Every structure is written in structure tokens, then in C-alpha cells.
Structure 1
Amino acid sequence: VEKLVGEWKELGAEVFINVCTTEAFVPFESKEELIKAIEEDNKERLTATQVYVYAAAKYAKEAGGAAFVNAIPTLIANDPAFVELAKESNLVLFGDDGATGATPLTADILSHLAQRNRYVKDVAQFNIGGNNDFLALTDKERNKSKEFTKSSIVKDLLGYDAPHYIKPTGFLEPLGDKKFIAMHIEYVSFNGAVDELMIDGRINDSPALAGLLVDLARLGKIAIEKKEFGTVYPVNAFYMKNPGPKEMQNIPRIIAYEKMRMWAGLKPRWF
């Protein structure tokens, strides 16, 4: 940790972006438990992301402010231990798990159906890719981390937990970074008519996330200047699959977009 903080001081870093491969993790919930694990160098309990955030908090406290963008499923902005630490240390937290590809599209469709008073019977969403992250997701525990952040949108947006299968589905190396996505949503329309939506797509995984991270780096700098330390829900709600803090939910992306713009000092586009 001290070595990281020393290197960051030399660089004059302001915004840290975490794109580690999806981890198997256990949240801390308690700041005291986190600090104990760090002091005891408990490698079995800590993930790389959790150590990086702790180091970023230590750095931010000495530097007068910094931001940490958590673009992977490990709970940081949703873990009260890290949010408390961030508030005390002049650290901004954005997280958790950047929303690109199928998940924000599914969220938009579910919001639309809810607004039209359609009853969603079931949701299936598949993702297959050939890059290193999809390879890592063949590990059961890592896949479980991703499944949790991706599937949280259903109950949040519909108000009920429609039967669903939403998680990374497999690794196929020839697909490379251009992942295959598919979704099937069955819902009840007016007078009991049952309709179905089926969508297929190919999405370049890394560029989709990279564009999002450029935005978040800029918003991190804005948050530092505003001294909004801890986690920032108006940003998380638009950019993240599982927006922190823990007690907050996913909301329709169009509403989240307008809230994010207003937080950043921009005029709303459609409100």
C-alpha cells in the first residue's frame, strides 16, 4: 500500500480507474474489519480491488482529494465500509460495474414495459465473448459476482422479481472482443395478449467500456472539485449496473441521465 501511495504521489494522480478482471469477493460491511484485514495482510480475505481502494483512500487523504472508478462487480460503492472510508479520506467512489452492452438495453426495455403497464413474465439475457474477461468468468465464483450486478435491474425497475436468467453465458475464443448478446422478454399486454421481444447483437466490449470510462474520469474530477466525497448516486445510477450506495436502486436510464446532467451542472435535455 505504501509503495502504491508513493508512486501515485510522484505522478500527481487524481482519478483511478479499476478494470481488473472480475473477482470472487466477500464484502466487508465494517470499516474496522477492512482495516484489520489490511493490517494483518490477509491475502485470503482481500481482493486486488479492495486493496487498491484502500490505497487510493490513503492517498486521497494526503493529497486533498482523488476519485476511484470501480468498473467491475466487486462491491465498493455498495459496501458501507468503503463508503465510510472514502468520506473520511476525501475520496470519490463511482461504482459498481460499468453498464455497457446488453444490460443498459435490457434496463431501457424493462422501464418502457413498466411505464406501459405491461406485466413481464420472464427475461432471458445471454452474453458470450472471447476476451480474457469472459475466460475468467468460466470460474463459477467470478461468474456469480457478475450475475448479481447484472440481475439486480429486474426487481428495481419492475417492482417485482420476474423470473429471469441474466448472466455471462460462456466463452468462445473466436468471438474475441466482439461479444454476442441476445435477449428474450415475454410480457402480457392489453386484454391478456402475450407478446415477446427477441434481440440479437454483436458489441465490441472494450470500446463500449472505454467511452464510458472517459466520461467517468471527467466526472471524477468534477466531483473532487465539488468535494462530494463518498459515493455519488446521480453518476452511478446512469453508468453502473449496480449503483451505490447500498440502499439505492436502479432507476430508468433516461431519468438517471437527466439526474447525472443536472448534478454535473448541465441543463437537462428532456425534462
Structure 2
Amino acid sequence: ILRETETDVLVSYLPVGAEEATKWYVEQALTAGCAFVNCIPVFIGREPYWRKRFAQAGLPIIGDDIKSQVGATIVHRMLARLFQERGVRLERTSQLNVGGNMDFYNMLERERLESKKISKTNAVTSMLDHELDPSDIHVGPSDYVPWLSDRKFCHIRMEGRTFGDVPLNLELKLEVWDSPNSAGVVIDAIRCCKLAMDRGLSGALIAPSAYFMKAPPVQYKDDKAHRMVEKFIADLMRMDPDTARKVLNNEITAEQAVQIFERLDPETARGVIKAGIFNVEGLTPIRGAAKVAREFGVDYGKFTEEENTYLRGLMFLFYAWTRQNTPNWFRYITRNPGGFLAKFLAPWFAVVLWNNTIDEELEQSLPPWKRDQLHLITGYKDEDGKDIIIYFRGAPFVDALE
């Protein structure tokens, strides 16, 4: 069914405690090539085994255990952090929840609640800089009340001590409609999953999981998690899919990838993506960029300001790529004599295949760049596995590196 319907993202709202069923659906998602959003407290996204499986399959996952828009967990977390930041030492706390939907009815089977209690408890205690004795914290579902229907009542009590060892107690009652309270959050999780999938990211998505889920792979305070997920979205929206894949493969950092596009005006940036700078007809990033840049001519001194800006953006990618492939060009420099290929390649892209010797005649034949400027060497392997280096010269590239 998943393949027939061309499903992109599979969302799990299985009953709490459905361990085996969840794992079965996870396997189906992996087989069908679907991203996965795990909204229940069965630990998938936070487990290294499943994270590795999704990474190997090239699929993203967000998990585990969805937070409501304004629910018991997020309110309890905020209050715990408020105590923490205002110097109130939390000594005891409880969170009691009653509801009337099938989720609460299902949780009458107490053996299903182990992972749920772990998820909700850790979500609160992760806000504190001190440990609470297990007997001093109780967080979890309490009872099923049929007439509440989809409503949920939450009662939170917190006991602590303020300045002068003076006791401070807080009680709060929250009433929500349970299902729609999580629907808006899961929609955002689906959007993040699809965005990541379109850009080739895979494995656990740390920032969205931290913000949307109670039991993510890594816990962050909510304000930081919010900033992280906003940056996650903004960064991916600026990247074309191939750049995003390079970020994932540690070929370039997200910051470097964003810099590429921040240095370009919007129209030029769109042109970069449209031209397929990062993957022209299956070529490597370097050769793909060379093919497109070749259309501008040979002499960088004749470029317009916009074209030089375009090239500076490319230079960030070249520089980052070089840092990941240093052994390639270093081996070429130390093992290969001569610069004869440079004479063949220089006319079509002001690029010189170089080594540790300088061909004076060749240098004089090149365009009159500022030869006292810093140059860049990068490289790649050709189809036969041979190491090739590329030597970039010219002020536009120097400006980019600065």
C-alpha cells in the first residue's frame, strides 16, 4: 500500500505500548522508502540501531512521543525550568492526567505504560540541573473517565524551596482537547521530514525531534530547540538537494553551505541551483562547477560584479570540498611531475592542473591576474581513479576566502 500510494512520510499513532507493531511498521517504512514520524512512546528515533537503519536507507526519522501544542509535558517542562532559572530548588513534583478517549482507555493496561512514564518523566527532569529521587517525582496517565470524551485534564503540583529555605508550592490544572492538541505539532513534524527527504537527509533529525518530541535522541531546552528547528528549516530552504547531501556527508558544514547562498543575490542564487552547479550531469562538484563557470569566459577581470559574486559563492563550496579531500591533491603533488595538462585546460576555464614545479612559460601565457594573491588548490579523482588537482588563481577567489 505504501508503494502503491507513493507515500512520502509514515506517521505512527499506534496505541501506547505497541512495541512489536511499531517495529513492524518501521520495517515496512524502510522497505517502502518512507520517512517516519513516531508519535508514540516506543523508542525508535532515539535508539542507535534504528537511527543507523534509517541513515543506511537514506530516509529521515523524527521521534519519539509527540508533544502537544500546549499540553501537560510542555507546561510542566516550562515550570520546571522557571523554578530552575529563578533559583527555586524543586524537591517534589507530580503530574496526573485523566482523559476519556481511547488512548486513555488503552492505558488502563498498566504494563503498556513503562515507556510512556519514562518519556514523560525524562522530559521534565531534563530541565533540572539536579537529580530527583524517583520517589519524589510521579508523571504519567492516571485514569480513564468515559464522559470526558476527547478532553484531558492535567493536574500538576510542584514543591520547592526558595531563598531562606522557604517552601514554595505550585498547583496547576490544564484542560485541553487531546487529539487536536497534538495535530498541529505533527503537521510541522511531517513538513520537516518531507523537507529533509527532498534534500537527501537521512537518519534521526535532531533539531525537529528535540522540539516536537518528548523523548528525542538529544534533549534540549525548549527555547534552544525552537531556535534549532527554525535554523534547520531556514538552512534547508536555502539549499538545493545536492548541497544538503554534502552537509549530511560532512563534505561541507551547514554553515558553509548557507554562506554560499548568503553571498549571492536571490536571482543569482536561483541561477546557481537551476544550473545544477553542485551536480551537472552527474559530474563531481568541481567538474560540474567548472562546466558552468566556463560559460562566463576565461579572464575573471572581465566579469561583472554579479558574476564575480556568483564565483565567490562557488569558491566557498570549492574550499570546503578541498578540506575534505586534502589527501587527493597532496598525493598528486608529491607523485606527479610536470604541468603539461595545464596548457590544455587553461584556455577553457582559467584552471591549471599543477604540481610542485612552476612552468614559467605557462604562467606568462595565463591572463594577467594579480600573481601575488593567495591561490587555492583543490582536487578530485577522475573516472580511472587518478588524483587530479586544480589550481585556482585570481582576486575573486581571494576575496571569497577572506
TM range (shorter): 0.7 to 0.9
The residue that corresponds to 1:186 in the other structure is 159
Q: Distance in 2 between matches of 1:90 and 1:72?
A: 23
Output the amino acid matched with 2:115: S
Matched, 1:73 2:38: no
Matched, 1:141 2:111: yes
What is the TM-score with the length of structure 2 in the denominator?
A: 0.56
The residue that corresponds to 2:4 in the other structure is 10
Give runs of aligned pairs for residues 7-86 of structure 1, distance below 5 A.
7-23=1-17, 25=19, 47-60=20-33, 66-86=34-54
Confirm or deny: 8 A CA contact 2:73 2:124 kept in the other structure.
no
Q: Distance in 2 between matches of 1:147 and 1:227?
A: 34
Q: Distance in 2 between matches of 1:161 and 1:168?
A: 22
Confirm or deny: 8 A CA contact 1:24 1:141 kept in the other structure.
no
**Cα displacement (A) at 1:10:** 1.5
**Cα displacement (A) at 1:242:** 0.5
**Cα displacement (A) at 1:168:** 0.4
**Cα displacement (A) at 1:24:** 5.0
C-alpha deviations, 1:137-173, integer Å up to 9, x for none? Answer: 0111112221111001233210222221001011111
What is the TM-score with the length of structure 1 in the denominator?
A: 0.82
The residue that corresponds to 1:3 in the other structure is none
Q: Distance in 2 between matches of 1:220 and 1:81?
A: 19
1:257 to 214, 222, 226: 226
**Cα displacement (A) at 1:220:** 0.9
**Aligned Cα root-mean-square deviation (Å):** 1.3
The residue that corresponds to 1:114 in the other structure is 84
In our comparison, the structure showing a higher alpha carbon Rg is: 2
Q: Which runs of 4+ in 1 moved over 6 A?
A: none
5+ long unaligned stretches in structure 1: 1-6, 26-46, 61-65, 267-271
Taking only the aligned residue pairs, the percentage that are identical comes to: 27
**Cα displacement (A) at 1:80:** 1.6
Output the amino acid matched with 2:220: I
5+ long unaligned stretches in structure 2: 236-402
**Cα displacement (A) at 1:113:** 1.5
Output the amino acid matched with 1:108: M
Of structures 1 and 2, the one scoring higher in RCO (CA 8 A, sep 6+) is 1
Give runs of aligned pairs for residues 217-236 of structure 1, distance below 5 A.
217-236=190-209
The residue that corresponds to 2:58 in the other structure is 90
**Cα displacement (A) at 1:12:** 1.1
Q: Distance in 1 between matches of 2:97 and 2:17?
A: 18
Q: Distance in 2 between matches of 1:171 and 1:194?
A: 33
1:201 to 164, 174, 191: 174
Q: Distance in 2 between matches of 1:178 and 1:161?
A: 32
Q: Distance in 1 between matches of 2:107 and 2:119?
A: 14
C-alpha deviations, 1:101-149, integer Å up to 9, x for none? Answer: 1001101111121122221011110100111110110111112221111
Q: Which has the higher helix share?
A: 2
Q: Distance in 2 between matches of 1:225 and 1:192?
A: 55
Confirm or deny: 8 A CA contact 1:24 1:145 kept in the other structure.
no
The residue that corresponds to 1:159 in the other structure is 129
Output the amino acid matched with 2:140: K
